[in-house]
Structure 1
């Protein structure tokens, strides 16, 4: 018998009789500013795919999905979901979980399962007429946010324009990218950090993100150069899988390290804590379930660690609203802002926080009618019970 247990409150008692599944890919939206980090980009546009579930009563649940791995959904997850009507989710979810075993629990299959789980949460909430934050026992309709951008490809004028916009939005914390030219221009990174600090003043928190590009020695060289700049946190300075290097740097760095957005399993986060990471950053659409994200949230709060979530900012906002008031949503403005074109309703930024609209489920409604009229739906695939063969898992007892 497996020693893994699944705690699925409050969704465990739900029953999902799914009759139709669709994945729709939406047309690209341009980046506000073409955006590059230490090793990727420039990203000139961005897009999103949506997963939609429809149950036997016509209830809908939706959420973002990584459509590039649709074969995993089609071969591992959808057969289980379409042929498991009548099962409580506390029974169904473990079957979905073990169905991705051979695809690995630390890769895209885990994220896909979490995206399915998020859309099922949306369905459960919509049919109950409650918001997802209420369903998860949250009491706020907002979540603090920080402005994220500052691409390594930005000119100083572009940096100034973006930081001024963040201040206008009321953010008390901003983040910029470092690690220019694949981490080989630390001197210029330091100069740009000093430039931004001068722009925003001493009262705004300033974080920096190296996207894993440096060695321990390089990260320390950078930190020595900005030690008087009051850095809020240093994000992913070394490889996210190098736990020994993370521990070494945590012991040396005068600034707290943050890690977690690259992780696909909540089981890694206790190890990050042991390595001395001061700020946990799980992305809701990366982990295998909403419950896993909540486990990391609870670990951070119990351990007195900082906590934030990014990914699709507008989707993360409702979940972050269930965390402590100090938790934050990363708003990657250059890429995420354009996604508003898809939405009829969505969380909006006011005084440095995402404010959640009063709707059931996830506080986002896709403007499907407008997207259809404007020919913005560029890919579509549908599955029904009759079209997907049954898959019977091995059941242990």
Structure 2
């Protein structure tokens, strides 16, 4: 049983506020997407009957599912336990599929509920999740496929000065058609990092097994820490084929919405798991993957919105890391009055109650940074089936 299971959430109000996109430090492109010249965030707020509010980043383009499947359950909980309410939320999106964005939306609601629960207990979220530390290892992330060598060097210098011990760059340029250039860029970055800082690469699923093996052969002397999503994430047979044919550490998990997929990834030979709290369909499911990695003795890291993810990583073992995609994340700092600070390769988590981030809503309002706002109240949403404790 988890600490939150017997909590009761009678939610009376919900808000979604969309913040204007922040300018990227460097326009960013990967194998198949971009360039991103800016990056945005929308925040969900859930308020309970006693005025406590929980917040989390949210996909704001799924309001139909939010309004018709999820809000009726949140607003008409009838004093049922969290365990019962979450069960109902989970099954309400069955017809949308448990591996799509509707499942991720439930996970985002779940983070907001955990934030609210931690605030009610007067605890930082990482302590509510039984973490005993407030420092979290960070790995630097970036190296867009569109970066010039000068831009690559500037980003590497930034991360080295921040004390990180691992840097991840993108490969698979122009939909995987420029492998020689990818290899040259990897060798260039490897030389910049020196022998004491690890280098990982991320192909964003663009290659097939044969192409991924070729890339591994061409970069074999660069001692890559891991090779992230080299093949389409749904192609488990090719993932297994690749893992069996190489000693390189293969990483997957960012594209998954359900913890139930991860044992199959492990059985396929994946040796680095990467669930994202705001992408998977619940806090408990993220922790199941965390525990699976520990049980199997394989690497574990997590990305997404770095500052939101950091408290979760604090609940894992000390060697686990949070990804910091500096080029896109740094611009969001202006929206927050509280967020983890990067120093000596670590994020230091605040002792503020709940999530270790606080949006400065007064500042955002004053500077007209709120691009969209929608609100709902319990008396505006009909109850379609009573909730009873199981």
TM-score, structure 2 as length reference:
0.98
Three-state SS of the structure 1 residue aligned to 2:167 is strand
2:132 and 2:315 in contact (8 A); partners too: yes
Gaps of 5+ in 1: 1-6
1:263 maps to 2:256: yes
- Quick one: distance in 1 between partners of 2:331 and 2:249? 31
1:388 maps to 2:381: yes
Q: Tell me by how many angstroms 1:396 deviates.
A: 11
- Out of 333, 341, 351, the position equivalent to 1:348 is 341
- Quick one: distance in 2 between partners of 1:133 and 1:200? 32
- Out of 91, 100, 124, the position equivalent to 1:98 is 91
Q: Tell me by how many angstroms 1:345 deviates.
A: 0.3
Deviation per residue, 1:204-255 (Å, 9 max, x gap):
0000000000011111111111100110000000000000000000011231
- Out of 33, 54, 69, the position equivalent to 1:76 is 69
CA-based RMSD? 1.2
- CA 355–137 in structure 1, closer or farther in 2 if over 3 Å, else same: same
1:50 and 1:63 in contact (8 A); partners too: yes
1:284 and 1:293 in contact (8 A); partners too: yes
Q: Tell me by how many angstroms 1:393 deviates.
A: 6.4
2:81 and 2:389 in contact (8 A); partners too: no
1:51 maps to 2:44: yes
1:293 maps to 2:286: yes
Q: Provide the residue aligned with 1:4 in structure 2.
A: none
Q: Provide the residue aligned with 1:335 in structure 2.
A: 328
- Quick one: distance in 2 between partners of 1:59 and 1:180? 46
- Out of 276, 282, 287, the position equivalent to 2:275 is 282
Q: Provide the residue aligned with 1:148 in structure 2.
A: 141
1:308 maps to 2:321: no
- Quick one: distance in 2 between partners of 1:129 and 1:396? 26
- Quick one: distance in 1 between partners of 2:389 and 2:9? 22
2:9 and 2:48 in contact (8 A); partners too: yes
1:22 maps to 2:19: no
- Quick one: distance in 2 between partners of 1:350 and 1:260? 27
1:181 maps to 2:197: no
Q: Provide the residue aligned with 1:139 in structure 2.
A: 132
- Quick one: distance in 2 between partners of 1:325 and 1:369? 36
Q: Provide the residue aligned with 2:60 in structure 1.
A: 67
- Quick one: distance in 1 between partners of 2:83 and 2:203? 39
Q: Tell me by how many angstroms 1:69 deviates.
A: 1.0
Q: Provide the residue aligned with 2:191 in structure 1.
A: 198
1:65 and 1:112 in contact (8 A); partners too: yes
- Quick one: distance in 2 between partners of 1:307 and 1:115? 21
- Quick one: distance in 1 between partners of 2:217 and 2:132? 42
Q: Tell me by how many angstroms 1:92 deviates.
A: 1.1
Say how many residue pairs are matched: 390
- Quick one: distance in 1 between partners of 2:330 and 2:279? 20
- Out of 311, 314, 325, the position equivalent to 1:321 is 314
Moved over 3 A (4+): 393-397
- Quick one: distance in 1 between partners of 2:191 and 2:198? 12
Three-state SS of the structure 1 residue aligned to 2:64 is helix
Q: Tell me by how many angstroms 1:10 deviates.
A: 1.4
Q: Tell me by how many angstroms 1:367 deviates.
A: 0.2
Q: Provide the residue aligned with 2:229 in structure 1.
A: 236
- Quick one: distance in 1 between partners of 2:331 and 2:286? 26
Gaps of 5+ in 2: none
- CA 129–79 in structure 1, closer or farther in 2 if over 3 Å, else same: same
- CA 396–324 in structure 1, closer or farther in 2 if over 3 Å, else same: closer
- Out of 117, 120, 127, the position equivalent to 2:113 is 120
1:210 and 1:236 in contact (8 A); partners too: yes
Of 260-269 and 67-76, deviating more is 67-76
TM-score, structure 1 as length reference:
0.97
For residues 350-369 of structure 1, the aligned pairs below 5 Å read 350-369=343-362
Deviation per residue, 1:75-95 (Å, 9 max, x gap):
100111101131111111111
Q: Tell me by how many angstroms 1:395 deviates.
A: 7.9
